[in-house]
């Protein structure tokens, strides 16, 4: 019988397989996370957009409320009267009297004549 010839190895060594696995994982990670806009960047931007949209909605409600208030001031006589009374201390004709209370003025030091 002739001596046996060793069969050539066709399989990859474990180190090469581990290296290929790591390379595939690195490519998959870069595909998901890498580049200019990775997944975490997109999630962060989406959250920021929701916060800004909430702020815009809140500001829009304030603008609407102030627009209605401005319109009421310009056209509603009751609102105008209330503002005149509260802000400027105005009264109606001779029927009302306005009382204003002020703090007592500080007494100035008056020199007193001392005994000589």
Domain ranges of the chain: 18-88
* Whether pTM exceeds 0.85: no
From the CB of residue 114, how many other CB atoms can be counted at a distance below 10 Å?
5
Say what the pLDDT of residue 11 is.
Answer: 65
Phi, psi (5° rounding) for residue 115?
-75, 140
Query: Would you write out the chain's pLDDT as a tens digit for each of its 116 residues?
Result: 667 776 666 667 878 888 888 998 888 877 777 767 778 888 899 999 999 999 999 999 999 999 999 999 999 999 999 999 888 888 887 787 777 778 877 665 556 665 55
d(CA 37, CA 48): 15
């Amino acid at each position: 019988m002739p001596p046996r010839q060793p069969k050539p190895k066709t399989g990859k060594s474990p180190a090469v397989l581990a290296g290929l696995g790591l390379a595939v994982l690195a490519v998959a990670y870069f595909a998901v996370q890498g580049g200019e806009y990775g997944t975490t960047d997109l999630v962060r931007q989406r959250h920021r957009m929701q916060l800004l949209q909430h702020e815009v909605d809140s500001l829009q409600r304030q603008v609407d409320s102030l627009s209605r208030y401005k319109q009421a001031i310009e056209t509603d006589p009751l609102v105008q009267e209330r503002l005149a009374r509260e802000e400027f201390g105005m009264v109606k004709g001779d029927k009302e009297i306005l009382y204003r209370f002020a703090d007592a003025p500080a007494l100035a030091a008056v020199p007193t004549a001392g005994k000589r």
